[in-house]
Amino acid sequence: MTAIVLTPELVEEIEQLTGKEETDAAAFVEEAVRSYLSQFRREKIRAETEAFNRQHNNLLKMYRGQYVAVHDGQVIDHDPDLRALHLRVYQKLGQVPVLLKQVTNPPEKVLQFRSPRLERMGT
């Protein structure tokens, strides 16, 4: 396990926010890092999707019907089998966010749904 050292100022700020319990501070830091990594992954996939869309016409010529792996804006691998592609990319890069997407014509549309919100009926 790797030890990560925080600056004394940051430790003090965390302790002030969470109280003096070391376990509370550790849980706070772990949740903050998880939240940051989740946001980082979403932003990286968004950027890779934009790169995929910009290159779509060229990708159609080269990889029509296949799945491509887009990392840092470039196709790093391709395969007609999504699982085989995923396993190779994971073996090569580990947990790094990589867009795996099938090259189709027209490009697949992504539908986004907002989470439903429950409201209490008046009393």
**Residue ranges of the domains in the chain?**
8-102
SS3 110: coil
Query: Which amino acid is located at 98 in the chain?
Result: V
Q: Is the pLDDT of residue 40 over 60?
A: yes
Q: Is the pLDDT of residue 85 over 90?
A: yes
CA 68, 40, 64: angle at the middle one, nearest 5?
10
Q: Which of 99, 107, 101 is closest to 42 using CA atoms?
A: 99
pLDDT digits (tens, 9 = 90+) for 100-121: 999 998 756 655 556 566 666 6
How far, rounded to the nearest angstrom, does the alpha carbon of residue 66 sit from its chain's CA centroid? Answer: 22
d(CA 82, CA 103): 12
